[in-house]
Amino acid sequence: MRAVALPILDATHDLDPAAIESVRERGHCVVRGLATAEECASYLPEIQDGVDRWHPEPSPLADRDTYGKAFLQAMALRSVHKQTRGFVDSPRFAGVAAELLGVEGVRLYHDQALFKEAGGGRTPWHQDQNYWPLDTDDIVTMWMPLVDLDPAVGSMTFLDASHLDGDVGAGEISDSSDAAIERSIAVGNRSTTTHGALAAGDATFHKGWTIHSAGPNPTDATRPVMTIIWFADGARITEPNSPQQEFDLATWLDNGTPGTVAAGRRNPRLWPPS
């Protein structure tokens, strides 16, 4: 156990109005300098500990499917390894999420680290929200690298304005979602955007239906990224429509009853801070 004082991430961030407009119109944005390099460096060992608990002995990349090759996924670190809580529960991050969504308050859906290992594969095109039994589109994910990203790895690529398409029916993240979305991009002649190689503490935000993918990691260093998902306070639980939604209902929403307001043990209101 490290005896370090972890930084408190409560100072508010002065958000550029262009970021709010970008989320509204394109379904994604970049926010530079949301955390400092020092803040990221302080939390990286704790987040790494959480990833190691989830994946004590990762299998060789060659033995995994496309999704498995994309990253080591470590969920709910704030519960698994409490030293990460100062990062996940940050009012600074939650305040930006609320501002980007244009809502009064947000609750945590869950956090997850996505560490793309050296030699890791491409993240297939997909939508996140088809996993989530919630009745609102006001859901946003922050994706923040904890080190400066190598340009050869870069950040995510978004299909512009795809948050307005709703569920495009591509299903869960896989080769099949990738191929279906790739085809629809070609047919619709749609534009995509990447915000490029971010510095530690820069972050992208994307809405639940925004279609996204990420490139492979051809370098010999892991890409350590932390993500946090929030939904608008007051959102209600919906009847799960797939095994994945059943999993999410049980895991992130405390097995709450469809029709009730989502406010389970794992969903603290993080903005406004109590």
Q: 211 touches which of Ni ion, ligand SIN, none (CB within 5 to 8 A by kind)?
A: none
Q: Which of 99, 111, 117, 128 binds Ni ion (CB under 5 A)?
A: 128
Name the minimum Å distance from CB 168 to ligand SIN.
15
Between 48 and 141, whose beta carbon lies closer to Ni ion? 141
Q: Counting contacts by CB under 6 A, is residue 214 touching ligand SIN?
A: yes
Single residue of 123, 130, 177, 267 touching ligand SIN by CB under 6 A: 123
> Exposure of 102 by Cβ count < 10 A (0-12 exposed, 13-18 middle, 19+ buried)?
exposed
**Contacting ligand SIN within 59-78 (CB under 6 A):** 70-71
Binding-residue pattern over the window 54 to 93 for Ni ion, x denoting contact by CB under 5 A: ----------------------------------------
Q: Closest Cα to residue 270, out of 101, 107, 96, 79?
A: 107
Min dist. Cβ of residue 68 to ligand SIN (A): 12
- Give dist(CA 69, CA 121) in Å, integer: 5
Residue 40's closest CA among 147, 157, 198, 164?
147
CA distance 236 to 31: 28
Contact between 114 and ligand SIN by CB under 6 A: the answer reads yes
* Cβ-based nearer residue to ligand SIN, 71 or 230: 71
Q: Does 225 bind ligand SIN (CB under 6 A)?
A: yes
* 111 binds Ni ion, rule: CB under 5 A: no
| 100 part of the interface to ligand SIN, by CB under 6 A | no
Least Cβ distance, residue 128 to Ni ion (angstroms): 4
Tell me how far, at minimum, the Cβ of 224 lies from ligand SIN, in Å.
10
Q: Which residues bind ligand SIN (CB under 6 A)?
A: 70-71, 114, 116, 123, 141, 143, 156, 212, 214, 225
- Residues near Ni ion (CB under 5 A) are 128
